[in-house]
Chains A and B, each alone.
Chain A
Amino acid sequence: GAGVSQSPSNKVTEKGKDVELRCDPISGHTALYWYRQSLGQGLEFLIYFQGNSAPDKSGLPSDRFSAERTGGSVSTLTIQRTQQEDSAVYLCASSREGRLIQETQYFGPGTRLLVL
């Protein structure tokens, strides 16, 4: 079946503008994750959704970042008043059920964000 998809694939924006990044997980996957990969850095966890449970937002770097997941499927990551340090690749992943120890996460191709 189809994998995780993300849109847009690339986004260039001006400092101070808001951006929205979209993630479509694999159908039937209840767990969804957002990560950020800055140049020369490892993947940094941002937020986790599991079914109808309250999301784990512990990785969000500031209150300018927020995310929601509607209907347990599509997720949107919003960055308000973007700063140049927000420039990174934002990766979304999904898994069948996040609590299972042995399951893998399936990653989307990412959105490359450049803040000028």
Chain B
Amino acid sequence: KQEVTQIPAALSVPEGENLVLNCSFTDSAIYNLQWFRQDPGKGLTSLLLIQSSQREQTSGRLNASLDKSSGRSTLYIAASQPGDSATYLCAVKSPGTYKYIFGTGTRLKVLA
């Protein structure tokens, strides 16, 4: 059974810092991994989707990497801004299923 873990559960950093959020999964047989952002009172917004054959994806200040063999993904945020404050969720989709299995998220607070 696939399980997804995110560390740390919460993170507070000063503006401008580069930071890394971690996601680990127990079954390396995945189709893809996706990082989402969730703002209070709002739904999830997809940030980056990495296919199982890819090693990383980049969008602006965000870079997500995937190491399937070790069951890990990292989300790197460069030059953090207060507007980056949100909960970040990673989710994996396994073969033969359309469901995403989600981690419990990392609550990020970027201080001005």
- Residues of chain A whose beta carbon lies under 8 Å from any beta carbon of chain B: 4, 31, 33, 35, 40-45, 48, 50, 59, 91, 93, 98-99, 101-102, 104-110
Tell me, rounded to whole Å, the shortest Cβ–Cβ distance linking A108 to chain B.
5
B51 is contacted by which of A31, A33, A102, A106 (Cβ under 8 Å)? A102
Would you call B44 an interface residue if the criterion is a C-beta within 8 Å of the partner chain's C-beta atoms?
yes
Q: Is the interface of B mostly helix, strand, loop or mixed?
A: strand
Q: Using an 8 Å CB-CB cutoff, how does the interface string of B87-99 with A read, 1 for contact, 0 for none?
A: 0010101000011
Answer yes or no: B64 CB below 8 A from chain A CBs: no
Known contacts A41-B104, A42-B89: A102-B32 contact under CB 8 Å? yes
Q: Which residues of B contact A42 (CB under 8 A)?
A: 4, 89, 102-105
Report chain B residues within 8 Å CB of A107: 36, 43-45
Interface residues of B (CB under 8 A from A): 4, 31-32, 34, 36, 41-46, 49, 51, 89, 91, 93, 98-105
Residue from B46, B91, B99 whose CB has the most chain A CB atoms within 10 Å: B99
A109 and B89 in contact, given A41-B104, A102-B32, A102-B51 (Cβ under 8 angstroms): no
